[in-house]
Amino acid sequence: MHADFWNDKRPEGVPSSIDINAHRSVVDVFERACKRFADRPAFSNLGVTLSYADLERHSAAFAAYLQQYTRLVPGDRIAVQMPNVLQYPIAVFGALRAGLIVVNTNPLYTEREMRHQFKDSGARALVYLNLFGQRVQTVLPATGIEYLIEAKMGDLLPKAKGWLVNTLVDKVKKMVPAFHLPQAVPFKQVLRQGGGQAITPVSLGLDDIAVLQYTGGTTGLAKGAMLTHGNLVANMLQVLACFSQHGPDGQPLIKEGQEVMIAPLPLYHIYAFTAHCMCMMVTGNHNVLITNPRDIPAFIKTLKQWRFSALVGLNTLFVALMDHPGFKTLDFSALKVTNSGGTALVTATAERWERLTGCRIVEGYGLTETSPVASTNPYGDKARLGTVGIPVAGTAFKVIDDQGVEQPLGERGELCIKGPQVMKGYWRQPEATAEAIDGDGWLRTGDIAVIDPDGFTRIVDRKKDMIIVSGFNVYPNEIEEIMMGHPQVANCAAIGVPDDRSGEAVKLFVVPREGGVSIDDLKAYCKANFTGYKVPKHIVLRDALPMTPVGKILRRELRDAVQEQG
């Protein structure tokens, strides 16, 4: 399908095209926003709010330090390993202003994953929170990292409070395992030394790499997706185009400088990075950073403080919030945008959320390789549950069969995406890049989808996760979606296991809610809801399922564990 196919299907207010040349780089977007919205709040965390002017000043100091006190040159990689704290946007925008390439690193990484990412990216510098110092010390000798910048939770708090927070984290909560990295420069010292120094402007173009974003290794070792300044600027403009949908008042949904957006998803994840570091920037809006979204009582306490208008989350997070008794007491009168991404949204969750908050969850679709947003649903009553909406402006979708032949509307096949947000390729992996992106620029997603005749797209499943039972295709997403409708199922995952009779059989892992559930009960529910070949042959009760930090179930780990047991 050509991108024009969707033009007349967009809601009122949403443009069909974007001007990719409106900005020269991510740095250009950032510097313009900081000037324009100087006195407005940009980021809040731990009781401190940075204005756009503060953010500009601190990131300039960070950039100047990198230019004056290190031998790093434009194009060098700097890894950033921090949760959602104020130092994250300062370090990232500071590094980009110095012309460096940011390597977003998950703070929960194991030593093996850290080693792989630091070596693969060729990172020469690392900014980390002291909570992870011990792991940094262990992996350092195996990497090419020369410069360490060490942040502490209380860095940006007033002096006494900062000292108190750092002491609490270290001595009382014992969250900082002992380590010895005398060469590390404290974050506060970096801002002090770089403060007041001039930045040497770096000429950046849309084709220059801004971020190396390592893709969740659902298929072996993680690869670094090269996301350019152009990719990120394009995706920011595409998401903004969606936000310009007219609300009931005939005005754009997201208004400049008026919105408070809650950011519980990790900023090092590309979904949150585009939403909070890019989109809110250009509209001059306010991001409230949630450092530990797993601490639901503290999360709800933060939500009480703000008249928040937007929240970006995913299924597991929505459920955890709604299960807390304090959730019902929150003020949802300003909430107009709830976006879900990263993993399929369960219908029961979406319906419950809308009942409790009055705001409909809107599901979109994307990949690390598409910076990440590729499609999204219209807001409000135009959203269609169970679909990932229509491609964002300037983006085309098609589905192909195993021979690469494009399929007609309504037929299933592998989803392919073309648009200005599609990555440049995988870092130093020309073969993997050629496998993923064809000569015409179409990215193969590995997801099985159906494009309905009206242009809405449904993701039927991951190609890799499909289970074939007696020649019939079984899609784990479908099994899981239906099972989540059982009142005693808190979470579940379906995988295929070898079976003498049918080739493969469905094995279902279930995490029960409080009060538990019997296997017989689950079996009866399956029989009532699934056609014969889809009924799970094996059901296992578990306390928890392996997940990525953003709440995606790792079916691969479940499959590997089954194989090991033989």
pLDDT score for 219: 44
**415 - beta bridge partners?**
399
Q: Tell me: pLDDT of 155 over 50.
A: yes
**pLDDT-wise least confident of 151-155, 296-300, 316-320:** 316-320
List pLDDT tens digits, range 463-484: 678 788 877 778 788 889 889 9
Closest to 382 in 3D by CA, of 309, 333, 482, 455 = 455
pLDDT score for 216: 56
Q: Tell me: pLDDT of 488 over 60.
A: yes
Q: Where are the domains of the chain?
A: 26-32+53-204, 465-565
List pLDDT tens digits, range 215-252: 854 445 789 999 999 999 999 999 999 999 998 889 99
List pLDDT tens digits, range 33-74: 999 999 999 999 999 999 999 999 999 999 999 999 999 999
Instruction: Report the share of the chain in percent with pLDDT over 90.
Output: 77
pLDDT score for 503: 79
Mean pLDDT calculated for residue range 529-546? 91
**Sign of the alpha-carbon torsion through 246, 247, 253, 258:** positive
Residue 225 CA, distance from chain mean position: 14
Closest to 81 in 3D by CA, of 134, 157, 30, 41 = 134
CATH ID of 465-565, from 3.40.190.10, 3.90.950.10, 3.30.300.30, 3.40.50.1980: 3.30.300.30
Cα-trace Rg, the chain:
23
Mean pLDDT calculated for residue range 379-397? 93
List pLDDT tens digits, range 127-138: 999 999 999 999
Is the separation of the CB atoms in 555 and 465 below 8 Å?
Answer: yes
Greatest pairwise CA separation for the chain in angstroms? 73
DSSP secondary structure letters along 203-245: ---TTSEEEEEE---TTSS--EEEEEHHHHHHHHHHHHHHHTS
Please list the alpha-helical segments (H only) found in 250-289: 270-272, 280-283
**Cα atoms found within 13 Å of the Cα of residue 561, Cβ hemisphere only:** 11
Q: What is the CATH number of domain 26-32+53-204?
A: 3.40.50.980
pLDDT score for 562: 86
pLDDT score for 269: 86
Terminal alpha carbon distance of the chain: 45
Burial of 127 from C-beta contacts in 10 A (0-12 / 13-18 / 19+): buried
pLDDT score for 139: 97
Provide CB contacts within 8 A for 421, sequence distance 6+: 231, 234, 235, 238, 370, 371, 373, 374, 392, 395
List pLDDT tens digits, range 328-375: 999 999 999 999 876 667 888 899 999 999 999 999 999 999 999 999
Per DSSP, 255 falls in state P
List pLDDT tens digits, range 278-311: 888 889 999 999 999 989 999 999 999 999 999 9
Is the separation of the CB atoms in 147 and 127 below 8 Å?
Answer: no
Separation of alpha carbons 41 and 55, rounded Å: 9
Q: Tell me: pLDDT of 319 over 50.
A: yes
List pLDDT tens digits, range 199-209: 999 999 999 99
Q: SS3 of 20, please? A: helix
Is the separation of the CB atoms in 244 and 10 below 8 Å?
Answer: no
Separation of alpha carbons 488 and 507, rounded Å: 18
Q: SS3 of 340, please? A: strand
Per DSSP, 197 falls in state P
> What does the angle CA 102 – CA 106 – CA 111 come to, to the nearest 5 degrees?
110
Provide CB contacts within 8 A for 148, sequence distance 6+: 125, 126, 128, 136, 140, 181, 183, 184, 185
Separation of alpha carbons 296 and 302, rounded Å: 10
Please name the residue that has the structure tokens 């750092």: 166
Instruction: Report the share of the chain in percent with pLDDT over 70.
Output: 98
List pLDDT tens digits, range 416-448: 999 999 999 999 999 999 999 999 999 999 899
Q: How confident is the model at residue 461 (pLDDT cuts 50, 70, 90)?
A: confident
* Sheet strands (E) in 6-138: 41-45, 48-51, 77-81, 101-104, 125-129
List pLDDT tens digits, range 100-144: 999 999 888 878 789 999 999 999 999 999 999 999 999 999 999
State if pTM tops 0.85. yes
Structure tokens at 219: 């298929």
26-32+53-204 shares its CATH topology with 465-565: no
Please name the residue that has the structure tokens 């950046």: 204
Long-range CB contacts (< 8 A, 24+ apart) of 291-298?
A: 291/45, 291/46, 291/83, 291/84, 291/85, 292/83, 293/264, 293/265, 293/317, 294/320, 296/320, 296/321, 296/323, 296/324, 297/324, 297/326
Helix (H) or strand (E) holding 134: helix 133-139
Q: How confident is the model at residue 566 (pLDDT cuts 50, 70, 90)?
A: low
Q: Phi, psi at residue 176, to the nearest 5°?
A: -115, 95
Burial of 557 from C-beta contacts in 10 A (0-12 / 13-18 / 19+): middle
List pLDDT tens digits, range 492-535: 999 999 887 777 899 999 999 999 999 999 999 998 888 788 89
Separation of alpha carbons 315 and 286, rounded Å: 24
Q: How many residues does the chain have?
A: 566
